[in-house]
């Protein structure tokens, strides 16, 4: 496997930035952080590895810059955000290439994520002009009530490696539109996409200190700085529920406003009255987008007995056609997993299911290379006592459960601490309405396997999170309500 010469693949090599972006300046770290290509196993860049003190200095700069930024009109903020959007779309190919090199997803998917990430900036640029307050009739003849919305201040962001562009813009866009300043720590596996966003933010004219990208290998220390520094008023996190719990506990000290986009365990339900071919296509995109490494992937596939065999056969035939390979190579549909540990977790779930009676319907051939590749596996005869029923696999394993009745599958689907995304295929209108109401999830996809859009409020219930990202709801988490009681 050849080494990755990332710079030579870019139309604009200046997007390949390895220094941290603090207060409008490019800053070296006290150490360096290796970034590797999960498909080839080679180091593609060494990035600034910031100390906690350097992160604290970035927060100081953000705190100062935010005061001025909040004085800009909504339209002025909108204009500079729109320029950022335009620059992202103009550099979509390069941003996609950088993402594929460091995260592994196929280039077409990476470019799709860039457009998805940019859509949040476009959407919230518009919302910046529509942050409305209200007046309320007084409670006494000489009182008048006024409610205003003001930016919360400095927002700190911690994001995962699986969507290294969109998870940042899904937070930074509403934060900046609201008049907040943003300090973001990207996942150590994927800092390059975040730094490329900073290059374009700088070119768009976002003022120094308003948007800061702070790579660091010491996730827990930087998380503590974000939670303990009293100049930070908002913490927004996307990642596992386990880390979310740690951060919520740490944020309690300063009673910090938190948004949490955490783990999932999505059920994907196929009823007897479903369009089976449509359900198979929905299962493919829902299960294998980013090779199963998304929080909204189908983690459990429940198929009613009347269509169980035909669905299983069609899904296996369709998966067998999918090409596993380096995301930079044309035609690859399934890239590598992010780390060897991610592969081990999937293999553990497969072994556990087989040991408890599951039957492998399909197991693809894994490319023998230095990269973290694992071909897809489909298992049928899966039962609720298996690890895959309660744990998030986060990889290319499609476990198929059989069920008989609607009540049975609702109970099975809701039997989890998670509540992020859920999906079902059915055509009976009464069933669609009743099942959508009964599923205990923040998101329900009906006759679709993909629900990701900037127009909708994305988020979970139970232990999948707090708050919503996207839609007009998404900006509220970066605003404070102020009630003014006027005596006239
Ligand atoms: N609900 C949602 O929208 C999403 C949820 N997820 C969930 O995240 C998981 C997979 O992503 P993954 O990156 O492995 O999740 P992790 O929770 O391990 O990591 C997420 C981010 O948190 C950082 N981090 C880890 N430990 C700490 C800590 N103690 N304090 C502060 N920051 C910390 C990581 O840094 P580093 O990588 O450098 O260690 C990374 O940047 C899955 O459970 C998935 O479902 C993922 C994406 C979206
Ligand atoms: O990280 C994730 O899994 C994303 O939140 C999923 S989505 O927003 O791209 O659907």
Average pLDDT score over residue span 123-138 = 98
Give, using CA atoms, the residue closest to atom 3 of ligand 2: 294
Q: Can you tell me which atom of ligand 2 is nearest the CA of 290?
A: 3
Distance, in Å, from the CA atom of 25 to the CA atom of 199, rounded to the nearest integer, reads 10
* Domain contains 163: yes
What is the C-alpha separation between 479 and 151, in angstroms, rounded? 5
Please indicate, yes or no, if residue 1 is contained in any of the structural domains.
no
- Atom number in ligand 2 closest to CA 264: 3
Residue 455 lies in a domain: no
Q: How far apart are CA 41 and CA 95, in angstroms?
A: 20
Whether 85 contacts 128, CB under 8 Å? no
Does residue 186 lie within any of the structural domains? yes
Residue 42 and residue 154 share a domain: yes
Please identify every residue annotated as catalytic. Answer: 261
At residue 1 the predicted structure's pLDDT band, cuts being 50, 70 and 90, is low
What residue's CA is closest to ligand 2, atom 1? Answer: 294
Q: Is the CB of 223 under 6 A from ligand 1?
A: yes
74 inside domain: yes
Range of the domain at 94: 6-262+464-487
Q: Is residue 368 part of a domain?
A: yes
The CATH number for 341's domain is 3.40.309.10
**For residue 163, which ligand has an atom nearest its CA?**
2
218 pocket-lining for ligand 1 (C-beta < 6 Å) = no
Q: 34-43: buried (b, 16+ CB within 10 Å) or exposed (e) per residue?
A: ebbbbbbbee
Looking at the fold, whether 301 and 245 belong to one and the same domain comes out as: no
Question: Both 120 and 249 in a single domain?
Answer: yes
CA distance 20 to 377: 40
| Residue in the block written with tokens 């780390």 | 339
In a domain, 454, yes or no: no
Cα–Cα distance between 77 and 481 in angstroms, integer?
20
Calculate mean pLDDT across residues 39-58: 97
Query: Which tokens belong to 185?
Result: 């720590």
**Whether this model's pTM surpasses 0.90:** yes
C-alpha–C-alpha distance, residues 151 and 181, integer Å: 9
| Close Cβ partners of 320 (under 8 Å, ≥ 6 residues apart) | 362, 364
291/234 same-domain check: no
Question: Chain-wide mean pLDDT for the chain?
Answer: 98
Reduced to 3 DSSP states, what percent helix, strand and coil does the chain have, rounded to the nearest 5? 45, 20, 35
Distance 263 CA to ligand 2 centre (A): 10
Q: What is the mean predicted confidence (pLDDT) over 418-433?
A: 98
Write the CATH number for 234. Answer: 3.40.605.10
- Report whether residue 110 contacts ligand 2, using a CB cutoff of 6 Å: no
Residue 376, helix vs strand vs coil:
coil
Do 258 and 313 lie in a common domain? no
Ligand nearest to the CA of 465: 1
Q: In terms of C-beta density within 10 A (0-12 exposed, 13-18 middle, 19 or more buried), how is residue 368 classed?
A: exposed
Give the integer Cα–Cα distance in Å for 76 and 78. 5
How far apart are the CA of 238 and the centre of ligand 1, in A?
6
Q: What is the percent of the chain where pLDDT is above 90?
A: 98
- 410 and 474 housed in the same domain: no
Is the pLDDT score of 368 beyond 90?
A: no
Cα separation of 58 and 169, whole Å?
Answer: 19
Q: Please indicate, yes or no, whether residues 245 and 311 belong to a single structural domain of this protein.
A: no
Q: Give the closest residue to 103 by CA, choosing from 10, 200, 186, 1.
A: 186
- Portion of the chain with pLDDT greater than 70, in percent: 100
Looking at the predicted structure, is the pLDDT value of residue 367 above 90?
no
Taking residues 259-275, report their average pLDDT.
98
Does 453 reside within a domain? Answer: no
Q: Which residues of 59-75 are buried (b: 16+ CB within 10 A; e: fewer)?
A: bbbbbebbeebbebebe
256 and 274 part of one domain: no
Atom in ligand 2 nearest the alpha carbon of residue 238: 1
Residue 370 sits in the same domain as residue 473: no
Residues 309 and 243 in one domain: no
- Considering the domain architecture, whether residues 469 and 440 belong to the same structural domain is answered as no
- My answer on whether 363 and 296 are in the same domain is yes
The residue-averaged pLDDT of 74-95 equals: 98
Phi and psi at residue 327, to the nearest 5°: -60, -20
What is the number of structural domains in the chain? 2
């Amino acid at each position: 496997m050849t080494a990755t010469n990332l710079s030579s693949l870019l139309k604009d090599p200046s997007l390949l930035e390895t220094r941290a972006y603090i207060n409008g300046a490019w800053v070296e770290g006290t150490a360096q952080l290796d970034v590797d290509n999960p498909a080839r196993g080679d180091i593609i860049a060494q990035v600034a590895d910031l100390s906690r003190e350097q992160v604290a200095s970035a927060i100081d700069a953000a705190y100062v810059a935010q005061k001025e930024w909040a004085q800009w009109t909504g339209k002025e903020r909108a204009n500079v955000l729109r320029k950022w959007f335009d620059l992202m779309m103009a550099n979509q190919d390069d941003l996609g290439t950088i993402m594929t090199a460091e995260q592994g997803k196929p280039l077409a998917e990476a470019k799709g994520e860039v457009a998805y990430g940019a859509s949040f900036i476009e959407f919230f640029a518009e919302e910046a002009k529509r942050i409305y307050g209200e007046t309320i009739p007084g409670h006494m003849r000489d009182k008048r009530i006024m409610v205003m919305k003001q930016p919360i201040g400095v927002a700190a962001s911690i994001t995962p490696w699986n969507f290294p562009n969109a998870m940042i813009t899904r937070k930074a866009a509403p934060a900046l539109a609201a008049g907040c300043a943003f300090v973001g720590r990207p996942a150590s596996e994927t800092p390059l996409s975040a730094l490329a966003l900073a290059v374009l933010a700088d070119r768009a004219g976002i003022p120094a200190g308003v948007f800061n990208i702070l790579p660091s290998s010491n996730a827990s220390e930087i998380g503590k700085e974000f939670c303990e520094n009293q100049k930070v008023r908002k913490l927004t996190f996307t990642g596992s529920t386990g880390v979310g719990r740690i951060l919520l506990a740490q944020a309690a000290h300063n009673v910090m406003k938190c948004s949490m986009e955490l783990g999932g365990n999505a059920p994907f339900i196929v009823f007897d009255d479903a369009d089976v071919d449509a359900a198979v296509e929905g299962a493919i995109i829902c299960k294998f987008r980013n090779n199963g490494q998304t929080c909204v992937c189908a983690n459990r596939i429940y198929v009613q007995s009347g269509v169980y065999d035909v669905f299983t056969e069609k899904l296996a035939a369709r998966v067998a056609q999918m090409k596993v390979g380096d995301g930079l190579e044309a035609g690859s549909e399934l890239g590598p997993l992010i780390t060897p540990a991610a592969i081990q977790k999937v293999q553990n779930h497969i072994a556990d299911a087989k040991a408890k009676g599951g039957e492998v319907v399909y197991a693809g051939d894994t490319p023998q290379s230095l990269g973290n590749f694992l071909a897809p596996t489909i298992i049928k005869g899966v039962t609720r006592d298996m690890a895959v029923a309660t744990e998030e696999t986060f990889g290319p394993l499609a476990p198929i459960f059989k069920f008989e009745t609607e009540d049975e599958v609702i109970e099975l689907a809701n039997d989890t601490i998670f509540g992020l995304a859920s999906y079902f295929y059915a055509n009976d209108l009464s069933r669609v309405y009743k099942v959508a109401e009964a599923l205990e999830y923040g998101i329900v996809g009906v006759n679709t396997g993909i629900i990701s859009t900037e127009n909708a409020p994305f988020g979970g219930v139970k232990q999948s999170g707090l708050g919503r990202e996207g839609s007009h709801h998404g900006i509220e988490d970066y605003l404070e309500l102020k009630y003014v009681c006027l005596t006239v």
